[in-house]
Chain A
């Protein structure tokens, strides 16, 4: 194991990069839909209860 005392902080950083970087194995993590496109709790509730016209209905 290398003695870090004589190393500069940049050298320590390089050493950590070299032995610390996790293995590369990319994965896709798609963003999920959490909000109705026409958000708002009250608006969403009223839409569900068919008390408001859906934006699609106007098309």
Chain B
């Protein structure tokens, strides 16, 4: 049994982060209140000040996390001693994925694992939840090909569930209930995950060396993006995310994150702690737990197990959405999953930090509502403002003009903008000084990329915000988004596709512009940065989904392709070539593909 869960040095970083972000929020509140008071205080001024407090606090919370990541150093984990003896299952859940691509990743990982000399300790299980019969039939054929190529009979397994109860969490649970007893640890992957064998072995060694470690999460690097949107996201994830993750790691203590994949669990800890019940009622708030990973991390921590993010572990990769529409689809699912966690905020026995993680997830999705509330209230505010009183002193014959407080509003806007950009430029500066920028193409290219990413994210933010807001309303109105298949295929959106996906955003932007013009014309200029991208949303969607030919957004995996990625690319090229041949046999007919 693990020892009692404590907070290994996490209390101070948490207190600092909470205090700094609250101070920033309070500062914004005071500034805006003074601005609002200039023409007499009314209820809408107070409402706007509260909204700006919440929004600024949330922005500052993210910024503090980034700055904390910059100013701290990962504590090296205890070096594992002795030989690795644990048995590990590598779990690859699939759901209507292209088996050629997915299984080529399995082949590359298996090859990489065997190259470590410890491959005999690892089994790979492909856990299919595919509902499409044609895809399932292809999965079976390509499984035979995979086993043949890798000479992996008895080492690589495939099973398909007859019903996909519980979605991915249920899929993993089903494996653990039937086969978990054969393994000490399980590496949980996604269909698009790719990991170096050496990394997987190192994870198992760390798990073996730390008996109270229930789950070890790596920081997956997004790879192989080809579109403008994908490249910008990939750069941001590779360049900024490790620093933010470091800040998070400082605050997590024993209650670290689980992001659902590229993480290793201790099987008996997971089995005894993470059986997820169906929640009372219907989706979106009831039914199976959608964003199961956060809940499983909380349940492991509740049972006394340590959950840890080791951000020093390299060799962990995933792929991301290539256009804004696919991103929005995935975000719709995450939105529902995170809002469902509101049901679990008071779940019995959870660690306070686990509850806070749920709260953070909910805030991440409802925070746009506060900004929208602030903007709507600002447009309406002139209609609530009392008429100016130039003679407030009864016996004073000269008019007293209200003090102009516009500078405070401008100062606040600069402060909010600063919270958005400061951490990113601080990370760029730090990378230039520490030499980290070299692996991103050099300091000049890094600064240009950071600037371009800021510009790009500023343009796309209102469009993403519109989608996020719609998702939140859909969930609140009880609409279940279901479990759509991830689109990992063609990324380019035609203007027609983009219009079909985003015409409602254009209409919303037009209504917002007309409303602001009619009710508060002085605010039109302030609202344009939000409204203009909404008006041109189809252009943005289509343009950003096209292949990138820019020299910006270079990441380390572009400059030096990791071995497992290279092998997967080679295997996939061979398999795809053969799959494209009409009537070509799939399995075991050519000597070159006989057992390796």
Contact = CB atoms under 8 A, between A and B. Distances in A.
A57 interface: no
20 contacts: A1-B593, A1-B594, A3-B587, A4-B144, A9-B140, A12-B141, A21-B157, A21-B159, A23-B179, A26-B179, A27-B178, A27-B181, A29-B176, A32-B277, A34-B279, A34-B344, A36-B348, A41-B343, A41-B345, A44-B346
Nearest to A34: B347
- Nearest 9 CB-CB pairs, A to B? A1-B588, A25-B181, A25-B182, A20-B158, A27-B180, A1-B148, A44-B346, A22-B157, A29-B275
Given A13-B140, A27-B267, A32 B299 contact: yes
B143 interface: yes
Given A16-B158, A33-B348, A34-B344, A27 B587 contact: no
Interface in B473-522: none
Contacts of B345: 41
Contacts of B342: 41
B274 interface: yes
Interface residues of B, number: 55
A56 to B, nearest CB: 15
Contact of A26 (B140, B181, B289): B181
B147 interface: yes
Contacts of B348: 33, 36
Nearest to A18: B153
Interface in A29-59: 29-36, 39, 41, 44-45, 48
Contacts of A27: 176-181, 267-268, 271
Given A20-B158, A45-B346, 4 more contacts: A20-B157, A23-B123, A26-B177, A34-B277
A35 B440 CA distance: 46
B588 A26 contact: no
B173 to A, nearest CB: 6
B137 interface: yes
A23 B370 CA distance: 52
Contact of A35 (B175, B183, B280): B280
A1 B346 contact: no
B162 interface: no
B276 interface: yes
Nearest to A15: B144
B68 interface: no
Contacts of B587: 1-4
Nearest to A33: B348
B431 to A, nearest CB: 41
A52 B158 CA distance: 52
Contacts of A4: 141, 144, 585-588
B273 A22 contact: no
Name which of B153, B271, B587 has the most chain A CB atoms within 10 A of its CB: B587
A19 B488 CA distance: 29
A32 B344 contact: no
A34 B125 CA distance: 29
A21 B586 CA distance: 21
B589 interface: yes
Contacts of B126: 20
A16 B158 CA distance: 7
Contacts of A30: 272, 275
Interface in B75-100: 89
B176 to A, nearest CB: 6
A25 B180 contact: yes
A17 to B, nearest CB: 8
A26 B183 CA distance: 11
Contact of B179 (A5, A13, A25, A34): A25
A20 to B, nearest CB: 4
Nearest to B153: A19
A9 B268 contact: no
Contact of A24 (B178, B268, B274, B585): B178
B285 to A, nearest CB: 10
B595 interface: yes
